Structure 1
């Protein structure tokens, strides 16, 4: 289940993600178990991640991003072109403290 975010929390996370570089990229094979395992590990370590989605048309990109969000339980903070920003709080060491409301 994805993490629900308020509008203020979404703005806060977009500001934090502005200077981040994309850490992962989906390949021609789409969302593979290896990609999901790597993304799960990166989300646990960083909490806020940019992912580059390699799909040609908009519908394919949206489908891939929806699948990634559904299978990782992360919240989609923003999607611009080929880049999606995902947030999922760490189970062990939370680094990002979200504003209330």
Structure 2
């Protein structure tokens, strides 16, 4: 579980990132969860954009992605979700205590 200080730090780090995944009409599926998990292993911090034609609630999408990829939801702002998972091989982000 991330502390408030750590979430604030990660939000600052994610500010300049572009969303690398989009959730559309099909919603969240196993393939998307697998790809998000692989991207988190490579990058640790990613943004996911929710398109307007997505019928699922953004909080449900964030919960499904974070549980499926075993990640932490840092923030949901507008239609963008920021996810974090500490990488086992490519650790680049040093979280504050």
Runs of 4 or more off by more than 3 Å in structure 1? none
Q: Secondary structure at the match of 1:89?
A: coil
Unpaired segments ≥5 residues, structure 2: none
**TM-score under structure 2 normalisation?**
0.91
Q: Secondary structure at the match of 2:81?
A: strand
Corresponding residue to 1:83 among 69, 75, 80: 80
Corresponding residue to 1:62 among 56, 59, 62: 59
Per the alignment, residue 19 of structure 1 pairs with 16
Q: Secondary structure at the match of 1:62?
A: helix
In 1, are the aligned partners of 2:7 and 2:74 still within 8 Å (CA)? yes
In 1, are the aligned partners of 2:76 and 2:82 still within 8 Å (CA)? yes
- Aligned residue-pair number: 97
In 1, are the aligned partners of 2:36 and 2:65 still within 8 Å (CA)? no
Corresponding residue to 1:38 among 35, 38, 46: 35
2-structure distance, mates of 1:30, 1:85? 17
Q: Secondary structure at the match of 1:22?
A: coil
**TM-score under structure 1 normalisation?**
0.87
**Offset, 1:27:** 2.1
Unpaired segments ≥5 residues, structure 1: none
Q: RMSD of the TM alignment (CA)? A: 1.8
**Offset, 1:54:** 2.7
